[in-house]
């Protein structure tokens, strides 16, 4: 039951070690003219690494993050780190924001600024991500994480709350709503057309009945095929051999940087701030959580613990929207549904104002 205040304080020796490792990176060669077709281009990553070493200000970032009240508690044997911001209205609805991969609580900083006057905000780090480390045992898939979130909200004294997330966070949020429907007012998730199609490649039944002769279905099937052939390598490795890739992620900052920067570059639709990218990469690096985050994907890939279906009001915001997402998700008539022409996998970072408006509209009708 113990909840302790937490403050980020990375030792200077770790900051110096990062700069030293970046300076001594053993860069590979590169074939001419291949661009992004075989992974992150050499010059792109060298320039980003140079800025990380001698331009990006970790101490300034650390100070900004520490402006948010942070705490840590142990649930089911696992340290859980979270932000907790109470708004001025004591009757405001508490809202849990859950990040996905490859992300962390820091993705939500811009969104928090748009929401902190409307909700009590709880922003946990998934087990094995950032400061929710170390992970001491196997089994932290969606269902177990959802049970931890329900327990966290009970410890904080909230009898009714909303849940929101994207990617892994969408799965966790849905599982919390299914598990703790007595206390969950509603569940809101986000997706985009690319994510929806890639999810359909491994989520059983999601793509059943698609007709190759139908224009919309053909686009979905083409995206699924492209993901399997060109975009699923990271997932295949982390779902099967997380320990092996962990040696790279834990020992080489250039390797950790490339592993995440590739996804930011490929999965965003709107411009992103490279300092925010480097904040997320730095948090992975300083906490050594690249490997435990990889293991989280392994746990879910080998688990049947997806949680129970949610029986509470549901909302969904689609970014980079087209007809494919509605076809895949087939929402019920009473689902709160909004579509945004632009945006990608990280809407809290790419389009925080639009996402905040959707969250206020959905949860406002439930308050």
By annotation, the residues acting in catalysis are 167, 298, 345
Q: Which of 190, 127, 188, 191 is nearest to 163 (CA)?
A: 188
Q: Return the structure tokens found at 5.
A: 């205040």
Strands 119-124 and 93-98: parallel
CA–CA separation, 204 and 256 (whole Å):
31
Fill in the DSSP letter of residue 310. Answer: P
User: Which long-range contacts does 325-332 make (Cβ < 8 Å, 24+ apart)?
Assistant: 325/191, 325/192, 325/193, 325/196, 327/216, 327/217, 327/220, 328/196, 328/197, 328/200, 328/206, 328/207, 328/220, 329/191, 329/196
Q: Which helix (H) or strand (E) holds 278?
A: helix 274-287
Residue 361: other Cβ atoms inside 10 A: 14
The answer to whether the Cα torsion of 112, 117, 119, 121 is positive or negative is positive
Cα(307)–Cα(305) distance, integer angstroms: 6
Angle between helix 253-267 and helix 274-287 axes, rounded to 10 deg = 140
CB 95 within 8 A of CB 115: yes
Question: Please, what sign has the CA dihedral across residues 238, 242, 245, 248?
Answer: positive
Tokens coding 263: 């996804």
- The token pair at 134 is 């170390």
């Amino acid at each position: 039951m113990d909840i302790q205040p937490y403050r980020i304080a990375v030792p200077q020796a770790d900051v110096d070690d990062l700069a030293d490792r970046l300076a001594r990176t053993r860069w590979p060669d590169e074939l001419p003219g291949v661009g992004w077709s075989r992974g992150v281009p050499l010059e792109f990553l060298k320039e980003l690494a140079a800025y990380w070493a001698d331009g990006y200000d970790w101490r300034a970032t650390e100070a900004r993050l520490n402006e948010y009240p942070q705490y840590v508690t142990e649930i089911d044997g696992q340290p859980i780190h979270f932000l907790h911001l109470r708004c001025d209205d004591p009757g405001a609805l508490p809202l849990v924001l859950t990040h996905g991969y490859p992300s962390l609580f820091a993705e939500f900083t811009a969104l928090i600024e748009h929401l902190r006057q409307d909700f009590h905000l709880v922003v946990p780090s998934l087990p094995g991500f950032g400061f929710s480390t170390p992970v001491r045992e196997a089994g932290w898939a969606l269902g177990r994480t959802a049970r931890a979130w329900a327990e966290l909200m009970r410890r904080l004294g909230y009898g009714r709350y909303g849940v929101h997330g994207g990617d892994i966070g969408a799965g966790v949020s849905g599982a919390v709503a299914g598990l703790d429907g007595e206390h969950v007012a509603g569940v809101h998730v986000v997706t985009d057309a690319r994510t929806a199609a890639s999810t359909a490649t491994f989520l059983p039944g999601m793509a059943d009945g698609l007709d190759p002769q139908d224009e919309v279905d053909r686009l979905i099937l083409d995206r699924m095929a492209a993901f399997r052939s060109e975009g699923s390598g990271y997932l295949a490795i982390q779902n099967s051999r997380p320990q092996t890739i962990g040696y790279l992620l834990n020992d080489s900052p250039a390797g950790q940087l490339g592993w995440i920067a590739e996804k930011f570059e490929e999965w965003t639709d709107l411009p992103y701030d490279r300092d925010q990218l480097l904040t997320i990469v730095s948090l992975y690096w300083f906490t050594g959580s690249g490997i435990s985050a990889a293991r989280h994907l392994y746990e879910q890939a080998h688990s049947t613990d997806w949680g129970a279906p949610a029986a509470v009001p549901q909302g969904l915001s689609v970014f980079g929207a087209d007809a494919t997402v509605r076809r895949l998700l087939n929402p019920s008539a009473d689902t709160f549904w909004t579509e945004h022409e632009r945006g990608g996998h990280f809407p809290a970072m790419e389009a925080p104002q639009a996402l905040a408006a959707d969250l206020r509209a959905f949860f406002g009708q439930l308050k």
